[in-house]
Amino acid sequence: MIIGIDKMLSCMVEKVGVDLQTAVDFVTINPAKNLGINKTKGSIALGKDADFTVIDPNFDIYMTVRAGKVIYRKQV
């Protein structure tokens, strides 16, 4: 079973009680560090790959950007 980032964040914050910043770290920079790819992945910074997901307050995915290009945008 594969669980999306939106569901992981929602579960950690709403059911486990983890604060949002810590939950985001759990699904971004921490895995990138463990995989040894944190120089290009895991956070937004100059020189990194510009891969990120924008979520709304309900943890629904609003937009996904890969290599600086929007590859998904929620229809509103």
For 23, the domain range is 5-73
Encode 35-63: b = buried (16+ Cβ within 10 Å), e = exposed. eeebeebbeeeeeebebebebeeebeeee
Mean pLDDT of the chain: 94
Task: Output the pLDDT for position 1.
Answer: 84
Please state, for a pLDDT cut of 90, what percent of the chain lies above it.
Answer: 91
Mean pLDDT of 50-66: 94
| 23/12 Cα distance (integer angstroms) | 6
Tell me the pLDDT tens digit for each residue of 22-52: 999 999 999 999 999 999 999 999 999 989 9
pTM of the predicted model as reported, rounded to 2 decimal places: 0.81
Helix (H, G, I), strand (E, B) or coil at 16: helix
Side-chain half-sphere CA neighbours of 61 within 13 A = 14
Per the structure, the count of domains in the chain is 1
Residue 76: pLDDT band by 50, 70, 90 thresholds? confident
